[in-house]
Every structure is written in C-alpha cells, then in structure tokens.
Amino acid sequence: ELKVEQNPLFLSMQEGKNYTIYCNYSTTSDRLYWYRQDPGKSLESLFVLLSNGAVKQEGRLMASLDTKARLSTLHITAAVHDLSATYFCAVTNTGNQFYFGTGTSLTVIP
C-alpha cells in the first residue's frame, strides 16, 4: 500500500512569515495533488503536479515535485490569515486510488 506522510502535522505561524510543508510518499507515483480544507468544509483542489521538477504557483502558495526523492513541498510566502486551513497532499497509483497524506493544520496568527 502506498503511504503518504506530511510534516509538520500542525503549524502555527505569524502573518508575513514564510514556511514549507513537506509531503513524502513511499512508492513510485508521477502525479501528486494538493488540497485545502477549511474547518467543517469539503476539500478544494489547489495543485496538480505531473512530472519531476514540476512547479506550480498560485498567489502565496507554491508547490513542487521531486519524483526521485518522492517528495513534494508546499511553500507559503508571506502568510496571511486567510491561508489558515488544513492542507493535504495525495498521490495516485495506476488505478483510481488516491492516497491522502496525514494533513497539515495551518494557523496563521496576526
């Protein structure tokens, strides 16, 4: 079974600071996804990373993928309160199974 781990599990950061969330997975996968979930809400797709070296950016969030290291990062630049949420990474195998990471609960403090 493909295992996906994220760290940190909890992240409290001040507004304006930068930080990185890490996502490691156990077996080969060439597709990685990042999702955001607000409290009590559903999951929203943020990024789809398709190949080694892929980098995607949207606003203050930037995601990258290193398939050789089986590692993806989600970098937060100059955090603002609106980014407070739980972030999940997910990878797929050759079927339709999406394996989710443990999640990172981000709180941005004014």
Partner 1 sequence: DTEVTQTPKHLVMGMTNKKSLKCEQHMGHRAMYWYKQKAKKPPELMFVYSYEKLSINESVPSRFSPECPNSSLLNLHLHALQPEDSALYLCASSQVGGAGNSPLHFGNGTRLTVT
Q: Does residue 103 touch partner 1 according to CB under 8 A?
A: yes
Q: Say how far apart CA 44 and CA 72 lie, in whole Å.
A: 18
Q: Does residue 92 touch partner 1 according to CB under 8 A?
A: yes
Closest CB 16 distance from partner 1, rounded Å: 27
Please say which residue, 73 or 102, places its beta carbon nearer to partner 1: 102
User: What would the DSSP string read from start to end of 40-51?
Assistant: TS-EEEEEEE-S
Q: Does residue 109 touch partner 1 according to CB under 8 A?
A: no
Please tell me the chain's helix, strand, coil percentages from 3-state DSSP, rounded to the nearest 5: 5, 55, 40
Interface with partner 1 by CB under 8 A: which residues? 31, 33, 35, 41-45, 48, 50, 86, 88, 90, 92, 94-98, 100-103, 105
